């Protein structure tokens, strides 16, 4: 029987209300939740209309993002018959509502920034619900929530999860409020999607989480079935959509193909429909390409809720579930006279109709397009059986940047037994970049571009790049800092739109896609010290088609002001460090290079059984001994005590007697250190031996075996590099 994925719970918090039922009532009545901002003062002008969640419970020190996510999770799990073994969350702002206030006040205590990380929201939810399984954080701008649902869908189909909580969340903050206004993308009268007089979007906040279960037949409590999803990238511009809508159309076609549904089978399209001139027009062109003359009912609800950024696609999914269950097609709020150039006829008032199948869209900065197809439970026959794909990739090319320089300089220094800690030399980051990029890109984006070019060039026969997977613990700190400094120095009057676009976590991955013309999935994962491992998991869940390649990149920059406040390990380190690595990967066994694969990933905070579970997942003592000649252990400095205990437990349970390398002692302390360790491990596996490394007393041959990278601390992870 085919594995099918059903939605059995929904948690929904939006400006229309706190809960699924209040939101349904508001949409049935055609009400709007948009009103002038009251959350913080705007010193130089009247507050613009926003989608603000009113009367949100306060928790001292806990950002609004976390509070919203916690409320949505509680509702989604109310009455649940099964607890989630995975959490997959899309987010953009993370802890910014608190962080920006602390920075404005000059607070330097790192403990006050403990909720800043984007990944901290998913970890908070996992902790609240007691989930110690796979926890992933997706940050693909305004498509984050939908991309999270696609990843969760593939986890369930492949048997990696039996029950997952997935969706998106974002909160209003100065960064997004002033950032979109600086781009002149905000409508001062409130969003009017598809209207001929529209002038822009309305920034909003909210959370929507869906409880998903894998079954062969519909459970009796199923609300809807998640039939399929598609992801694509425009590879066109950092902030503007491809004008012809071809990227958006590709995501919708892929979602329909994945679901086994023809365009004629769609009853309703929940549009992305932001109200910006270019986005609405591009989406309209995509719809005409897809549906032709037979256009289904369609509407955008962002005139009622505003645009909740990383939560927007998840809100659309929740509203789609509502449409199927209640036969409700919401009005396209704010659209009074449809733009004749679009030749669309959005639903003008709430409509009651039988809805069996819904297509829901979400598009974001970096050209990230995502679409979902949902249906009435059991309405359609089971799709073809989905078999678990190969977990491994062949490394066709690789590159790294460290305090020593590029990969050659890094390996040379390591073979001398010297550490490669320190800051990436500017000349190493600039080596592969044209002057134009050096002028317009800041530190992290330069590093990522340089790594991608070097890894692709290192491949013996460079192939077309279909997709990009990027992991970053902290994102572009330089752009974020510069944006906020300009904002605060002008008393919240002026700031840089360029820095705002560059400050989103997925900006660098979008730039890589543009460079290589990569129009497949473009996914950024941001899980702190385990972002590389999460990005690798994303690549396995969404592999390129046979014959195509993907780029896997992880990098983080050191920032003299922010790193010591955000990263507790960097705060404890005696020397600032940063770096990253990139891999050009072919699906399965496609060449002679070493293989790379994720073997284990678990949120282990408070879980005493995580290490034992990892040993079991690796096949036990015999399998570990047979496959691996060395272990590279990654223990973040701030988690060294628990990490050492976990490592001792692993070595005891696995009976491992080979060489053990504590690699952060020579990489330095930064989130992407595991990617650098993986790049070095791949080179050593290809050579067949490990040299004397800092912190290791002896060198030795691998005897045809591989290297196992284990990550320890709040997460327990394992990544295999095999010959």
Per-residue CA distances from 196 to 132, 276, 297, 342 (Å): 49, 11, 19, 9
pLDDT at residue 59 is higher than 80: no
Cβ pair 207, 71 in contact under 8 A: yes
Q: What is the CA angle 10-11-12, rounded to 5?
A: 115
**pLDDT (tens digit per residue) in 73-121:** 999 999 999 999 999 999 999 999 999 999 999 999 999 999 999 999 9
Q: Which residue has the higher pLDDT, 392 or 171?
A: 171
Could you tell me which of 578, 495, 587 has the C-alpha nearest to residue 545?
A: 587
pLDDT for res 362: 98
pLDDT at residue 230 is higher than 90: yes
Question: How confident is the model over 646-657, as a mean pLDDT?
Answer: 96
| Percent of the chain surpassing pLDDT 90 | 91
Return d(Cα 518, Cα 247) in angstroms, integer.
Answer: 11
Return d(Cα 529, Cα 507) in angstroms, integer.
Answer: 19
Output the six-digit token pair for 444: 């992290």
The 3-state DSSP class for residue 88 equals: strand
Write down all domains in the chain, each with its CATH number in brackets.
4-375 (3.40.47.10), 393-722 (3.40.47.10)
- Indicate which residues carry an active-site annotation: 142, 272, 307
Backbone angles phi, psi at 56, to 5 degrees: -75, 130
Cβ pair 148, 169 in contact under 8 A: no
**pLDDT-based confidence at residue 622 (cuts at 50, 70, 90):** very high
Could you tell me which of 654, 616, 650 has the C-alpha nearest to residue 633?
A: 650
Could you tell me which of 92, 80, 235 has the C-alpha nearest to residue 163?
A: 80
Return d(Cα 359, Cα 373) in angstroms, integer.
Answer: 5
Q: DSSP per residue over 465-479, as a string?
A: EEEEEEE-SS--HHH
Return d(Cα 276, Cα 342) in angstroms, integer.
Answer: 13
Could you tell me which of 393, 392, 428 has the C-alpha nearest to residue 580?
A: 428
pLDDT for res 1: 59
**pLDDT (tens digit per residue) in 489-505:** 999 999 999 999 999 99
Output the six-digit token pair for 146: 């939908």
Return d(Cα 305, Cα 314) in angstroms, integer.
Answer: 13
Fill in the DSSP letter of residue 317.
Answer: H
The 3-state DSSP class for residue 413 equals: helix
pLDDT for res 193: 98
**pLDDT-based confidence at residue 462 (cuts at 50, 70, 90):** confident
User: Secondary structure of 533-561 in the HEC alphabet?
Assistant: HHHHHHHHHCCCCCCCEEEEEEEECCCCC
User: Secondary structure of 324-359 in the HEC alphabet?
Assistant: HHHCEECCCCCCCCECCCCCCCCCCCCEECCCCEEE
pLDDT for res 589: 74
Q: Where are the alpha helices (DSSP H) in 260-386?
A: 277-291, 302-305, 312-326
pLDDT for res 60: 75
pTM of the model: 0.97
To the nearest 10°, the Cα dihedral for 440, 442, 443, 448?
-60
Question: How confident is the model over 277-286, as a mean pLDDT?
Answer: 97
pLDDT for res 698: 62
* Number of Cβ within a 10 Å radius of residue 54: 11
């Amino acid at each position: 029987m085919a594995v099918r994925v059903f939605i059995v719970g929904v948690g929904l918090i939006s400006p229309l209300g706190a809960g699924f039922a209040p939101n349904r009532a508001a949409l049935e009545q055609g009400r709007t939740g948009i009103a002038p901002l009251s959350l913080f003062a705007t010193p130089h002008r009247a507050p613009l209309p926003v989608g603000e969640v009113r009367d949100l419970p306060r928790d001292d020190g806990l950002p609004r993002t976390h509070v919203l996510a916690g409320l949505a999770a509680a509702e989604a799990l109310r009455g649940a018959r099964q607890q989630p073994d995975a959490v997959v969350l899309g987010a953009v702002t993370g802890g910014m509502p608190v962080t920006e206030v602390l920075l404005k006040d000059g607070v330097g205590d790192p403990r006050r920034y403990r909720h800043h990380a984007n990944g901290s929201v998913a970890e908070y939810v996992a902790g609240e619900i007691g989930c110690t399984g796979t926890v992933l954080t997706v940050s693909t701008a305004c498509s984050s929530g939908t991309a999270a649902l696609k990843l969760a869908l593939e986890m369930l189909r492949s048997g990696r999860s039996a029950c997952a909580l997935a969706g998106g969340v974002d909160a209003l903050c100065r960064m997004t409020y002033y950032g979109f206004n600086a781009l002149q993308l905000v409508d001062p009268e409130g969003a009017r999607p598809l209207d001929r007089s529209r002038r822009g979007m309305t920034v909003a906040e909210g959370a929507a989480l869906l409880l998903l279960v894998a079954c062969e037949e519909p459970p009796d409590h199923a609300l809807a079935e998640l039939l399929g999803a598609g992801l694509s990238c425009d590879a066109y511009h950092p902030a503007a959509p491809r004008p012809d809508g071809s990227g958006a159309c590709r995501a919708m076609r892929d979602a329909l193909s994945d679901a086994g549904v023809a365009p004629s089978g769609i009853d309703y399209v929940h549009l992305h429909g932001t109200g910006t001139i270019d986005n609405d027009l591009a989406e309209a062109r995509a719809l005409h390409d897809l549906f032709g003359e037979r256009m289904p009912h369609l509407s955008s609800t962002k005139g009622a809720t505003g645009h909740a950024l990383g939560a927007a696609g998840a809100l659309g999914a929740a509203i789609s579930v509502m449409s199927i269950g209640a036969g409700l097609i919401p009005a396209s709020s704010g659209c009074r006279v449809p733009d004749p150039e679009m030749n669309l006829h959005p639903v003008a008032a709430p409509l009651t109709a039988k809805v069996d199948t819904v297509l829901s869209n979400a598009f974001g900065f970096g050209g990230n397009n995502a679409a979902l197809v949902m249906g009435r439970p059991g309405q359609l026959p089971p799709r073809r059986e989905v078999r678990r794909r190969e977990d491994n990739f062949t490394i066709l090319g690789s590159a790294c940047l460290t305090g020593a320089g590029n990969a050659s300089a890094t390996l040379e220094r390591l073979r001398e037994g010297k550490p490669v800690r320190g800051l990436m030399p500017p000349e190493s980051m600039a080596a592969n970049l044209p002057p134009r990029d050096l002028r317009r890109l800041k530190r992290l984006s330069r590093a990522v571009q340089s790594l991608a070019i070097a890894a692709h060039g290192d491949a013996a026969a460079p192939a077309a790049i279909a997709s990009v997977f990027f992991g970053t613990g902290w994102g572009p700190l330089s752009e974020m800092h510069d944006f906020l400094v300009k904002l605060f120095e002008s008393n919240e009057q002026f700031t840089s739109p360029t820095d705002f676009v560059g400050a989103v976590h997925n900006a660098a991955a979008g730039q890589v896609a543009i460079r290589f013309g990569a129009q497949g999935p473009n996914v950024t994962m941001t899980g702190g010290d385990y972002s590389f491992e999460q990005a690798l998991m994303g690549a396995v869940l969404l592999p390129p088609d046979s014959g195509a390649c993907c780029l896997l990149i992880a990098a983080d920059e050191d920032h003299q002001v922010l790193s010591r406040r955000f990263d507790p390990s960097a705060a404890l380190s005696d020397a600032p460090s940063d770096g990253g690595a990139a891999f050009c990967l072919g699906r399965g066994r496609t060449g002679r290079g070493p293989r790379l694969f994720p073997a284990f990933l678990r949120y282990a905070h408070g879980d005493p059984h995580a290490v034992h579970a990892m040993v079991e997942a690796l096949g036990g003592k015999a399998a570990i001994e047979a496959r691996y000649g060395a272990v590279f252990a990654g223990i973040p400095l701030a988690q060294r005590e628990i990490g050492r205990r976990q490592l001792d437990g692993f070595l005891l349970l696995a009976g491992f007697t080979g060489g053990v390398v504590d690699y952060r002692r020579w990489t330095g302390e930064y989130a992407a250190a595991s990617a650098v360790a993986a790049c070095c491990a791949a080179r050593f596996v290809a050579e067949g031996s490990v040299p004397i490394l800092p912190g290791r007393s002896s060198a030795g041959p691998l005897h045809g075996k591989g290297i196992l990278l284990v990550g320890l601390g709040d997460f327990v992870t394992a990544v295999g590099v095999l010959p």
